[in-house]
Amino acid sequence: MKIAVLPGDGIGPEIVAEAIKILEVLRAEGISLELDVAPVGGAAVDQTGDPLPPSTLTLCEQADAVLFGAIGGPRYDTLPREQRPERGLLRLRKAMDLFANLRPAQVFPELVAASTLRPEVVSGLDILIVRELTGDIYFGEPRGIRTNGAGEREGFNTMVYSESEIRRVAHWGFQAAMRRQRRLCSVDKMNVLECTQLWRDVVTEIAPEYPEVTLSHMLVDNAAMQLVRHPRQFDVIVTGNLFGDILSDEASMLTGSIGMLPSASLNARGQGLYEPIHGSAPDIAGQGKANPLAQILSVAMMFRYSLHRSDLAERIEEAVRSVLAQGIRTADIAQAGEGIVSTGQMGDAVATALRAH
């Protein structure tokens, strides 16, 4: 199995190193894994001037799966937009047509107290956010900063979704709901935005194909509030690129930390890119403080969705669970009085637990 490994920037290389420890444990057991490391984001800009060099894209397209760390950093924020690290990731998602972004938010029982919300609100939480990833205002044209008739600068972006883009991700939402509690909540802003009126119309049109799924609709401002009021009301949430980006960061805190949430970005050909939902965390980069569990759990998703080894996915998830049960915590999930381990120590602990399971 060929895996393209793209560490990226900031804490990206630190947490990817821990994910590789997990892959090495499996390789030592005889699982055939070929890892090819390539630059992306700011690291690629430094080397080539391009945040997604053609050689990196080719490697990803030819791999069975892509393991991605994180990109971005203040050093790159003043570059022309096309050279910024974030554009490299957006181009990679678009080029591989990775339209279905699965972001599961599950609360491990051992981390109930790590959430900023009360235990009775988050205990047992298990939400799946299905975020559309290759459309919406992140890709719409025209976009830019221009001078208007009054001589004033004016920034503009375009929120646009075609019917087919909505339909294919909506099917993902319904099908995911079929495998879970059969409740799908579609999140939009149809009271204001025409683009999301179409979103609601298309999702509603598809619903009769899934009679066992209970479909509901919610406006995004209310959804943001309901996620912290009573998050367990949700099973699967399907939403657009922008709203899904924001709501998934919000949902991550229900689980204790943004450092806990993995993701899978899938296309219709079965290819996938696996990355934590968080960014490059420049504020803690290089300090051994980053939680590598979102990256390690992304490896589990990679085995489940691209490499067709659910058995290995479950073993990795079980190893994470056992490490948390042992009370091993990075700073972001530690309670007052609990000992804190480094990024590397957390990775070592999961690798040790995996060898034992």
Ligand X SMILES: CC(C)CC(=O)C(=O)O
Binding-site positions read 73-86, 93, 103, 131, 221, 245, 249, 279-291
Could you tell me the smallest distance in angstroms from the CB atom of residue 316 to ligand X?
22
Amino acid at 96: M
- Which of 261, 120, 127, 256 lies closest to 187, judged by CA? 127
The single residue among 173, 262, 279, 347 that binds ligand NAI, judged by CB under 6 A, is 279
Could you tell me the smallest distance in angstroms from the CB atom of residue 68 to Mg ion?
13
Report the residue number, 140 or 282, with the smaller CB distance to ligand NAI: 282
Quick check: is 332 catalytic? no
Report the residue number, 38 or 89, with the smaller CB distance to ligand X: 89
Q: Which of 138, 161, 210, 305 is catalytic?
A: 138
Give phi and psi for 266, each to the nearest 5. -120, 150
Q: How many residues bind ligand X (CB under 6 A)?
A: 5
Give phi and psi for 264, each to the nearest 5. -125, 135
Residue 86 lies near ligand X (rule: CB under 6 A): yes
Quick check: is 46 catalytic? no
Residue 188 lies near Mg ion (rule: CB under 5 A): no
Q: Which of 9, 50, 245, 332 is catalytic?
A: 245
Give phi and psi for 310, each to the nearest 5. -60, -30
Residue with token string 């057991």: 29
| Binding-site residue positions for Mg(2+) | 221, 245, 249
CA 177, CA 212: separation in Å to the nearest integer?
9
Quick check: is 9 catalytic? no
For residue 37, list its beta bridge partners.
Answer: 5
Classified as helix, coil or strand, 97 is coil
Q: Cβ of 265: how many Cβ atoms within 10 Å?
A: 27
Q: How many residues bind Mg ion (CB under 5 A)?
A: 1
Residue 275 lies near Mg ion (rule: CB under 5 A): no
Select from ligand NAI, Mg ion, ligand X, none the partner in contact with residue 90, using the beta carbon and a kind-dependent cut-off of 5 to 8 Å: ligand X
DSSP for 181-222 reads TSEEEEEE-TTT-HHHHHHHHHHHHHGGG-TTSEEEEEEHHH
Residue with token string 């883009």: 165
Select the span of 106-114, 202-210, 216-224, 241-249 touching Mg ion (CB under 5 A).
241-249
C-alpha torsion sign, points 319, 298, 244, 205? negative
Q: Cβ of 314: how many Cβ atoms within 10 Å?
A: 14
The single residue among 39, 51, 73, 173 that binds ligand NAI, judged by CB under 6 A, is 73
Select from ligand X, Mg ion, ligand NAI, none the partner in contact with residue 284, using the beta carbon and a kind-dependent cut-off of 5 to 8 Å: ligand NAI
DSSP type of residue 2: E
Q: Which of residues 298-337 bind ligand NAI (CB under 6 A)?
A: 332
| Binding-site residue positions for substrate | 93, 103, 131, 221
Q: Which of 50, 136, 161, 189 is catalytic?
A: 189
Residues making contact with ligand X (CB under 6 A) = 86, 89-90, 245, 277
Q: Annotated catalytic sites, by residue?
A: 138, 189, 221, 245, 249
